[in-house]
Amino acid sequence: MRLLIIGSATDCGGAEAYALTIATSATQAGWETHAAFPQAEANASLRQAFADHQVSYHPLDIAETLSRGVQAIGDVCLRFVRTRSLLLSLQPDVVLVNLPWADHCLGSLLACGQLRLPTAAMFHLIPPEKIPLSRSRLRAYRWMRTRQQQWLTNSEANRSLLADLFQMPASALLCIYNGIKLPSPEDYTPDRAALRQAVRHELGVPASSRLLLTVGRLVPQKGYDDLLAAIPPLLEDDPTLRFVWAGEGEQRQALHDRLRAMAIDRNVLMLGHRSDLPRLLQASDLFVFPTRFEGHPFALLEAMAYGLPIVTTNASSIPELIEHQTHGLLCPSGDSNALLHSIRWALQHPEQMQLMAQQAQQRVQHFSQEHMLEKTLSVLENLAVLTVP
């Protein structure tokens, strides 16, 4: 079976990691797998990863722009033409359109619909503020759903938001939770104390420092501004604290400048993209995830899997993962004062936080990569056998 995965992103985030995971699994199952998305410097490593897993890459210039009015219509038409040309050339049995944002990839979805190709559309991220959609655009989405398309999302919170956004019944959307490859016993470092000291040495911080780890793109959605406001009073409590940020993004320079202006840059380590997150998770004392909205965050699942105590927000799907004071601490999203008090309480009560972390480690067993892949590939297979009337 020939699978084509289409995406519009020019960088690498959770949605793109999802696409790579699906593509890799499909290839291992014996499918002929292709991926098409814009070619950009920021996704060079992603393109290489697809190649390493025997997935054929096709440049597809469908990156989203901020155009409006007639120009926006023209851009959608151009993306339609480019996608349609690729579809006619490859003739896939089934298509997976991977949407990093709710209203992206309209031209590609229209092309799949016009050719009546069996298509699954995975909606990863839906902001809580409703996206304005015109009547004509809503009609286009309604028409596409009649053209052998199955729409998917990764949480019940997203399913509700999508149903409201597209004015459709929630039952027409299929929820498949994101899942991670759960660590095996070999993935855990046997000498945790030695690892903690080694990581602190590598980072150039005192051996006694407690590390508060945050993993995520450096973008406004992830709530770094809220965390910035909480850091100075926490450092007054304990000047040896170190905040470790793993991720890249558009806010890097602005955040760096603010850290220097606040004279806390020596206490916040901006590591950029890291390929050794399991080491960081096992060497840290607390996972801080101040996000303002999410799809179904892989980073949080990984922190749960490695037994790291968690402070996060009640944004979007997170309460579907974590029960407050059972698996970690939840605070209102966008509330820096509540975030401060939650982190402070966590640091003052390590034994209670460790108990929550152990319960979170049990909870995350329900969100395995194996389950996600089984359900997603089943959807794709079922779509592929549909016949055009």
Determine the pLDDT at residue 387: 47
In CATH, the number for domain 2-179+369-384 is: 3.40.50.2000
**The pLDDT of residue 386 is above 80:** no
Determine the pLDDT at residue 65: 82
Q: Predicted confidence band at 93 (pLDDT cuts at 50, 70, 90)?
A: very high
Could you give the percent of the chain with pLDDT greater than 90? 88
The position carrying tokens 């007639």 is 70
Yes or no: say if 151 and 123 are a contact pair by the CB < 8 Å rule: yes
pLDDT, average across residues 113-130:
93
Question: What topology is assigned to 185-366 in CATH?
Answer: Rossmann fold (3.40.50)
Decide whether 2-179+369-384 matches 185-366 in CATH topology.
Answer: yes
DSSP state for residue 180 in the 8-state scheme:
B
- DSSP code per residue over 216-242: S-SSGGG-HHHHHHHHHHHHHH-TT-E
Parse the chain into domains and list their residue ranges.
2-179+369-384, 185-366
Q: Could you give the 3-state DSSP secondary structure of residue 285?
A: coil
pLDDT, average across residues 300-321:
97
Beta strands, E only, the chain: 2-7, 32-37, 56-59, 94-99, 119-123, 149-153, 173-175, 211-215, 242-246, 268-272, 286-289, 310-313, 329-331
Phi/psi zone of residue 8: left (φ > 0), alpha (ψ -120 to 50 degrees), beta?
A: alpha
CA–CA gap between residue 321 and residue 254 (Å, rounded): 31
